[in-house]
Structure formats: structure tokens, C-alpha cells
Structure 1
């Protein structure tokens, strides 16, 4: 069921659709999934091919052109329309199709991005297509690739175990913040692995831990000790709850630089 779109937002959709280069305008995020509330933003994705003329959008506020937010998040604008908060997100269809093909082959990369603990996987661009609602034009959704469901969990769990190993290193030094940061990243990485095993698209990390059944780990993070020996034991508890084998091989330890 399509949510009722306020007139001010609908007018912005028309403006976005009319920009030279636009192929489609979609509604994404919680609003597209009918999970939004009165305080939810309106996420509008603008899919374009090659280049796009953002002149009209720039009259509404500050625009971050393609590439400003990295190769995955790309660019866009944070606007307010008639009291409604609207996020405009630019998506280059050539880039989307490239990473969709890579995902179909079981391949992906991770980029560092503000607000993401484990980084943003390149298949997020394909995941967005699965949940968005087209408002103008059309974009093709893709099912979760079987090859990605096999290959991605191994990658994410390598990252998870690496993060836990660094958490132990911080624990031996009594660095509580370092332990918490690396352990939190490990939880998010395991959550990604679980989602991929299930063939479940993930657009961001906001609800990832709960959705993958790892919510009980929050209680552990509420009781992080400060003494070194206890810190090390605490990391072990996190690893146990994540299902990490105690005799797990660590290939990154085979040599040193």
C-alpha cells in the first residue's frame, strides 16, 4: 500500500523527474516499507544514466553532486519541504548495474562510510531496488543472488573474526573504547553474514542486529568491564554469543609485515 505523499513532497518528485538525465524517481526507506511514522524522513532516490542536470534541485538547497558521498552513496541533498524532511539520494544506473552483476557472481566490496560500523557493501545498491517503490519511471529489482548467499558469509565472518582479534589486542592494553568499537563492528559483520545466508537484502545497519536475531548481545555491551583480564574475558563472551569457534584458524597471523 502506497503511503499518502504530502503535496510538498509530491511537487519535489515532479521536479526531480523533470531533471535532464533522470530515468526514475523512487520512494525508499521506512516510508516505502510502510514502517514510517510522523517523524520519518522521506527518502527519494533519483536514478539517472550517465549525467544528470541538478540545476533545478539546487534551487531547493545545497546539493552534493555525484561522487561527493563516495562511489556507493554517491550524492544528493538534505531538504525540508513544507515541514517534511526529505533526503534526495542520487543513484547512477551504470554503477548500480555494475555492482548488481558483481553480486550475481558472488562478489562485492565494502566501503568506509560515515554512520556505518562495518562499512557499506556494494550490493546495497541492489538491495535498495528490492524495497523501493517507483513514483516516476521504472527500475528493475533483482532477487538475492544464490552465489552471493554462498560467498558473502565467508567474507563477513573473516572480517568479524579479524575485528574480534583486534578487540582482544585492545583488551590486553586496557583500551576499553577500542574493545567496544571492534566488538561492535564484529557484531555487525556477523549480522551481515546471517542476512546473506538467509538471502535477505540489507540496505543499512539500522535494524540489522535485531533482524538477524543478535539483539541479546546488547545486554553484554551494557556491562563492559574496565580491568584488562576482565576485558579479555568479555571479548570471549561476545565471540561465544556470535558462534565463533574457539579453535578458529586465523590466517592473518601466519606472517608479519
Structure 2
């Protein structure tokens, strides 16, 4: 299967407008199983991408979504099956990736609404994908050079750790929702609060957090994570409660864990 993927990457790199192709996800990290998808980052430049050539390469019956069709951050792509295995093409505008990388070096980032990302799409994912991926096809060497240049910027680390204040703010708001027995509001506040803290824990360890999948489990093993962090968060999210008293108890436990985590992140 690896040979098929590498051949596909070379063909993709020959499509007008495509700069290069990377392998991402669990396959790139060596954490995959036999059933894991093959995630291919298809890096293109601006308006030069030849969508008709991509569609011809994908074959009949495969929908290829152009830039912007899937939302503002996950630009587009296609879902294929090759020998019964899922292969995902994910479009990435290389100029935008480079702009985001420049922002990250200055400690600036965005969190955008994006389908498929319930805690939002965190812009550092763009350079993180390049840093953590494997370059499969790169005719001009541009992706290889970009990958070599990407380290974890200290200003970004400081900014993501500093942003952990919002976790406390959200949990204070959740306490008010608990008094109204508003389970949805409390659950959303608690989920987002710990999503922010998971990002901060990754940043503290200078580790790219690429999306929500598996992020809690990974965060639980990072140096600044409090004891049993992942288990405690799972317990909070699994059964927040339905009554005002139960929700208030959940929020109180969440606040205690958040304070412990923020203290561990402090210089």
C-alpha cells in the first residue's frame, strides 16, 4: 500500500498548481493501525490549482471539493478508497501556511469555526502538520525547506500558555449555568475549558497539537499535566449531571483541576 500512496503522491505533485504532497496523521507518526486512513496533504499555490486534473486523477464517482468548499480552514479535498482503505486528500494553500507560520513565530494565532473541529481549528495546526508530516513528493524542494525551518516558536508557546486564563473564565460561567440546570451550556464550557488547557499543555512541552483527536490522551502524558489529568477530565465529561446540584459539583471539580493545571503551567 505504501508504494501505491507514494505513486499517488507523485501523480498529485504533477497536477498544475500543486507544490507538493505530504503524509500526515497517524501514518506519519508511526502510530497507525492496519485500518488507519492515509492522510495526504496536497499543498497548492493560490488560484493556480487545476481542479479538473485532480478530478481526473481521483477517478469516476469521487467528489473533489475545491478550495473553500469544506470551510475556511480545511480548504477542500477528496475522500477515496484504495484497495478497501480510506485515503484522504486534504488541500492546503502553501502561501497561507507560510503566513500562519510567520504569525506563530510572533506569538499570534487564530481559532476558527470549522466543520469537523468541535473545539475550533487552531491555526498553529498548519505549520504543525508540515513539521510532523513526511514529505512524499516535492518537485521544487519547497516543502522540504519549509519543514526544515519549522521548530516550535517560544512566542507561540508563551501565547498558548497565557491563553489558559480563559479556562477559568469559562468555568466561572459554567457555575452560573449549573444553577439553571443548563446541562448543554455547562458541558460546552467544561469541554472548551479543557480543550484550551490541552493546547496549553502541548505548548508547554513544545509539542504541536494538530486537532482534538487523541489530544486529551496525549496531554495526560505531558510533563506539566497533573496526576491522572486525562482520567479526571474524562470523568467530568462523561457524566456532568442533569440537576443543578450535580452540575455544580462537576463544575467545582473542573475548577479545582483547572487551577491545578494552570499552576503547573506557570513559569
CA drift of 1:6 comes to 4.9
CA drift of 1:184 comes to 1.2
Pairing of 1:194-209 with structure 2 (within 5 A): 194-209=201-216
| 1:225 and 2:222 are equivalent in the alignment | no
2:160 match: 152
Over 3 Å counting, the alpha-carbon distance change for 1:245 and 1:46 in structure 2 is closer
Q: Provide the C-alpha distance between the structure 1 equivalents of 2:19 and 2:68, rounded to a whole number of angstroms.
A: 18
Q: Provide the C-alpha distance between the structure 2 equivalents of 1:74 and 1:167, rounded to a whole number of angstroms.
A: 33
| 1:143 and 2:151 are equivalent in the alignment | yes
Q: Provide the C-alpha distance between the structure 2 equivalents of 1:158 and 1:55, rounded to a whole number of angstroms.
A: 47
Q: Structure 1: which 5+ residue stretches go unaligned?
A: 247-257
* Counterpart contact for 2:104–2:156, Cα < 8 Å: yes
| 1:57 and 2:54 are equivalent in the alignment | yes
CA drift of 1:24 comes to 0.8
* Counterpart contact for 1:117–1:188, Cα < 8 Å: no
Q: What SS does structure 2 have at the residue aligned with 1:32? A: helix
Q: What SS does structure 2 have at the residue aligned with 1:108? A: coil
* Counterpart contact for 1:109–1:122, Cα < 8 Å: yes
Q: What SS does structure 2 have at the residue aligned with 1:224? A: coil
Q: Provide the C-alpha distance between the structure 2 equivalents of 1:53 and 1:190, rounded to a whole number of angstroms.
A: 40
* Counterpart contact for 2:73–2:114, Cα < 8 Å: no
* Counterpart contact for 2:23–2:133, Cα < 8 Å: yes
CA drift of 1:245 comes to 9.4
* Counterpart contact for 2:6–2:136, Cα < 8 Å: no
Q: What SS does structure 1 have at the residue aligned with 2:236? A: helix
Q: Provide the C-alpha distance between the structure 1 equivalents of 2:168 and 2:179, rounded to a whole number of angstroms.
A: 17
Q: Structure 2: which 5+ residue stretches go unaligned?
A: 221-228, 263-267
Q: Provide the C-alpha distance between the structure 2 equivalents of 1:198 and 1:174, rounded to a whole number of angstroms.
A: 37
CA drift of 1:244 comes to 6.0
Q: What SS does structure 1 have at the residue aligned with 2:114? A: coil
| 1:240 and 2:236 are equivalent in the alignment | no
CA drift of 1:190 comes to 0.7
Tell me the number of residue pairs that the alignment of Structure 1 and Structure 2 aligns.
Answer: 241
Q: Provide the C-alpha distance between the structure 1 equivalents of 2:120 and 2:169, rounded to a whole number of angstroms.
A: 14
CA drift of 1:55 comes to 1.3
Please report the RMSD computed on the Cα atoms of aligned residues, expressed in angstroms: 1.9
